[in-house]
Chain A
Amino acid sequence: MSRSARAVVLRDAIGLGVAVGLYGVAFGAAADAAGLDPWQALATSLLMFTGASQFAMVGVLGAGGSGPAAIGSALLLGTRNTVYGVRLAPLLAPRGLLRRLGLAQWVIDETTALAVAAPDRGLARLGFLAGGATIYAVWNATTLVGALGAAALGETAQAALDAVVPAAFLALLWPRLRAGAEEPAVARRVALGGAAVALALTPFVPAGVQVVAAVVAVALAGRPRPDRREAA
């Protein structure tokens, strides 16, 4: 792999990692509001380390939901990471049980996006590891900051954070839709379909579930059909 390709992957991974990691402030504040002490907030970020599940858990607790309901909502959103793992396994090709146990903790939205956006397997591993390390470090540090009293984070700073994260996902999606990518026209239809299904389901399912449902719906729409299997 060329040096410049490595530099690009590293820069993207660290850039996304810092942008996403800063969101830990919001999680820390949400955990505090839900009644978790700072150690419990930090333990959640260290051990659970999957943002949507963490927000779901403290959201249910903060709304007065039961322990099992909080755990259930976290697990429901966590199933997304199982799908990501299937996608990542051939890219990361973890050798040995210990390495697999270690890599598993970093299987989340952002590291998956970084790995699958990379042009080859070596760069996919680099993107996954650099992104995972950056997000893990920043996310845990900012969780503690948020839990210790950054609930008073200015509204303008929060608005800036809110706008950065979707832009980061768009930046990762962009090259897949552009001419020169693998079947960009199909990728564009798939992307539109995924966005439409996710938005349509938002009012009806718990927050986060619509992302899983969108991926499943698009995957089912692209399932093999008898007439095409002959051609393939």
Chain B
Amino acid sequence: MSSGTLWAVVVVGSLGCYLLKLAGLSVPAAWVERPWVTRVVTFVPAALLAALVAVQTLTSGQGLVVDGRLAGLAVAALALALRAPFIVVLVLAGATGALVHLLTT
């Protein structure tokens, strides 16, 4: 693929992604203030965050993969249950992931 074509892909793709973001912010407020909509959106973040946790922990491309990320997540959950600060949770998870990698290769 030529450099010019790649630039076109980058620019057109980026413009499209930007317009998708803008569209969401531009929906009239009345639409999102309906009771059932507010009820749904109250719980959308939990579904979203949990889906992201699951996908980023257990998948690689199309496959389900168990690796150091799951150990890191378990350590993070333990740290959260013990009310550790956010940064500590992240450092512990990262260290666990690195440790599992060193032990398994």
Binding site for B on A (CB under 8 A): 11-12, 15-16, 19, 35-37, 40, 43-44, 47-50, 53, 57, 61, 67, 70-71, 74-75, 78-79, 81-90, 92, 94, 100-101, 103-105, 107-109, 112-113, 116-117, 155-157, 159-174, 176-177, 182, 186-188, 190-199, 202-204, 207, 210-211, 214-215, 218-219, 222-224, 229, 232
Contacts and interface: CB of A to CB of B under 8 A. Distances in A.
A110 to B, nearest CB: 9
B13 A176 contact: no
B3 A74 contact: no
Contact of B17 (A16, A78, A224): A78
B90 to A, nearest CB: 5
Nearest to B95: A160
B98 A203 contact: no
Task: Tell me the interface secondary structure of chain A in the complex.
Answer: helix
Closest A-B pairs by Cβ, 5 of them: A85-B24, A163-B97, A163-B72, A194-B47, A167-B93
A14 to B, nearest CB: 9
Nearest to A197: B51
Contacts of A195: 50-51, 53-54
17 contacts: A47-B11, A74-B16, A84-B24, A85-B23, A87-B41, A88-B25, A113-B52, A155-B101, A160-B101, A162-B72, A163-B100, A170-B76, A171-B80, A188-B46, A199-B58, A207-B62, A219-B44
